[in-house]
Copies of this chain bind each other. A is one copy, B any other.
């Protein structure tokens, strides 16, 4: 079984058997393909007799999106497994355990997280995750700091940058986040009732300038190893545990892109509360919970990042008075800008989110969509002058009563 081919359920079991000290020697294994089949095969391999289980994830050489099939590099499986190993080392316990990787077969064998739910789903079901802000700020501060020139040897970093070039998956981001939503592109997809809002988006040149600058940062600022796709669909969660998954978009880019992805997806859910909360009181509580989570994430991230800088910085020059202050302010600005960009694309671009699209009532959905566009465009336009996370919060709260 050396050359690449998509695995059968039987082959998934054979490979899973080879993991040392995992399954009991006696006892049958069962395999079930649980992926959506668009990008990857995902086998859940379990041993009923021992109660042990794991996941065999294999990349497919194409992506099925809106019916079309795009060829897609299998190298993303290598990138994903290498990113997971780095994240596990830097933010231990916040990603699934990795048992085995095989670049030729484009597969990773990892911890079964069936005890967790996908955070997007959990939020739509009203879930509350009191550990999340602390966990995700930990993940962000540690993975970003220790893969940047502040926290790792600058020459070793250059070799990592080389290893995570990832042009094909970056292309998806560059097109679908920073280009297509702002022009009449074929890939765009939006509800017809939004045509006027979308026309406004396409003709707003002040917005386009800011998007061009954000796109430039994504293209050129190799600040740290990003997860690259850190939305609430890439997070497995319980009230006690957070596990970040699927870093196949990993590459060296601006830190604010990852932080912004988290905040954007909380704000997408925030904007949809007229549907997801049963009544006005629940809605108020829910919005406050989401806003407080956003505040906690930024404040904890900033505190942890500064502590790492002060205690574990590797760069003499970074001790220059005022530099940390300047750096963190630029991080905040980038975060706010990328938060906005990550919101707008979910309404107008190719890939949407269930928080919005699963609102059945078109009027309620339209309202949520307009709240997202209002917050997103305001964040993009204001990012370069921001000085506090409260400015993002004020913009979100003002738009929630649109």
Q: Are A155's CB and B178's CB within 8 A?
A: no
Q: Are A221's CB and B219's CB within 8 A?
A: no
The one of B162, B170, B223 in contact with A165, judged by C-beta atoms closer than 8 angstroms, is B162
A149 part of interface (Cβ distance < 8 Å): yes
Q: Are B221's CB and A220's CB within 8 A?
A: yes
Q: Are A316's CB and B219's CB within 8 A?
A: no
Q: Are B179's CB and A317's CB within 8 A?
A: yes
Q: Are B216's CB and A321's CB within 8 A?
A: no
A225 to B3, CA, bound (A): 37
The one of B155, B171, B220, B323 in contact with A168, judged by C-beta atoms closer than 8 angstroms, is B155
Nearest Cβ on chain B to A132's Cβ, whole angstroms = 29
- Inside 8 A of A171's CB, which chain B residues have their CB? 154-155
- Inside 8 A of A208's CB, which chain B residues have their CB? 317, 320-321, 323
The one of B156, B158, B212, B318 in contact with A323, judged by C-beta atoms closer than 8 angstroms, is B212
- Inside 8 A of A155's CB, which chain B residues have their CB? 167-168, 170-171
Nearest Cβ on chain B to A82's Cβ, whole angstroms = 15
Name A322's closest neighbour in chain B (CB-CB).
Answer: B209
A165 to B164, CA, bound (A): 12
What is the count of identical protomers in the complex? Answer: 2
The one of B165, B317, B321, B326 in contact with A161, judged by C-beta atoms closer than 8 angstroms, is B165
Nearest Cβ on chain B to A207's Cβ, whole angstroms = 9
Q: Are A316's CB and B158's CB within 8 A?
A: no
- Inside 8 A of A167's CB, which chain B residues have their CB? 154-156, 158-159
Q: Are B209's CB and A326's CB within 8 A?
A: yes
- Inside 8 A of A47's CB, which chain B residues have their CB? none
Once A205-B320, A221-B221, A322-B205 are accepted as A-B contacts, the answer to whether A158 and B166 lie under 8 Å apart by CB is yes
Please report which residues of chain A, range 214-261, place their CB below 8 angstroms from some CB of chain B when the two chains form the complex.
215-216, 219-223
A213 part of interface (Cβ distance < 8 Å): yes
- A301-332 interface bits toward B, Cβ cutoff 8 Å, 1 = contact, 0 = none: 00000000000000011101111001100000
A200 to B39, CA, bound (A): 59
Identify which of A154, A170, A182, A220 gathers the most chain B CB atoms within 10 Å of its CB.
A220
Q: Are B161's CB and A211's CB within 8 A?
A: no
A183 part of interface (Cβ distance < 8 Å): yes
- Inside 8 A of A221's CB, which chain B residues have their CB? 220-222
Question: How many residues of chain A have a CB within 8 Å of chain B?
Answer: 42
A296 part of interface (Cβ distance < 8 Å): no
Nearest Cβ on chain B to A322's Cβ, whole angstroms = 5
Please report which residues of chain A, range 144-188, place their CB below 8 angstroms from some CB of chain B when the two chains form the complex.
149, 154-156, 158-159, 161-162, 165-168, 170-171, 174, 178-179, 182-183
A222 to B320, CA, bound (A): 23
A158 to B215, CA, bound (A): 15
- Inside 8 A of A162's CB, which chain B residues have their CB? 161-162, 165
Please report which residues of chain A, range 23-71, place their CB below 8 angstroms from some CB of chain B when the two chains form the complex.
none
The one of B159, B174, B182, B222 in contact with A154, judged by C-beta atoms closer than 8 angstroms, is B174
- Inside 8 A of A216's CB, which chain B residues have their CB? 149, 327
Once A165-B159, A179-B316 are accepted as A-B contacts, the answer to whether A209 and B321 lie under 8 Å apart by CB is yes
A209 to B330, CA, bound (A): 14
Q: Which 5 A-B pairs have the closest CB atoms?
A: A208-B320, A155-B167, A158-B167, A212-B320, A212-B323
Other than the given A208-B317, A209-B320, A213-B323, 6 more pairs (CB < 8 A) read A154-B171, A158-B167, A158-B170, A212-B317, A212-B318, A220-B221
Could you list 8 A-B pairs, sorted by A, with CB under 8 Å?
A: A149-B216, A149-B220, A155-B168, A158-B170, A162-B162, A205-B322, A208-B320, A212-B317
